[in-house]
Amino acid sequence: MSSKGNQLPHESWLFLAEATVERTLRALPTDLRDRLRDVPVLFEERPGPHLIEDGWPDDLLGLFEGPCHGERATDISTQPPTVTLFLANLRDEAGDDPEIFRAEVRTTLLHEIGHYLGLDEDGLAARGLE
C-alpha cells in the first residue's frame, strides 16, 4: 500500500527506522549481535557536505565508517565504527511507502554491517546485499 497521498510525520519515519533496526539486529545470531554491540546506528536526513566533498553521492542510503571488526584503529583520530542511515534518501528510495521503507532500512543496515565485517561490494552483492 503506497502512502504517497498519506505522508507520515518525520517522527514516524524515524520511529519506523529505529524499530526496523532493532528488529533486524534482534534477528541476527547471538555471536554477530555481540560483535555489533558497540557499533551505534545513527540517523541523519541526508549526507552532509563533508561526505559529498569526499565523493559520496548525495543519494547515499547508508554509510559504515571506522575500522572493520577485528581491525585496530591505527590513528588516535580514527572514529569508532558507526553505521549511519540517511532517512530522507531511504524514503525517496521507497517512494514514501512505509513497507518498502522498512525493507530498504533492513537491507541497507545489513549492507553496512557487511562492510563492518570486512565485506567489499562484490562480497555484499554475492550475498544479495547490493
State the pLDDT confidence band at 4, using cuts at 50, 70 and 90: very low
Residue 129 domain flag: no
Residue 38 domain flag: yes
Note whether 13 and 101 are within 8 A (CB): yes
- What average pLDDT does the structure give for the chain? 87
- How many structural domains comprise the chain? 1
The CATH number covering residue 14 comes to 3.30.2010.20
pLDDT digits (tens, 9 = 90+) for 74-125: 655 567 899 999 999 999 999 999 999 999 999 999 999 999 988 777 877 7
Question: What domain range includes position 56?
Answer: 10-70+77-124
* Euclidean distance between CA atoms 71 and 65, whole angstroms: 13
* Euclidean distance between CA atoms 17 and 130, whole angstroms: 19
Residue 46 domain flag: yes
Nine-digit cell at 4?
A: 504517497
pLDDT digits (tens, 9 = 90+) for 39-88: 999 999 999 999 999 999 999 999 999 988 876 656 555 678 999 999 99
Residue 109 domain flag: yes
Nine-digit cell at 32?
A: 554477530
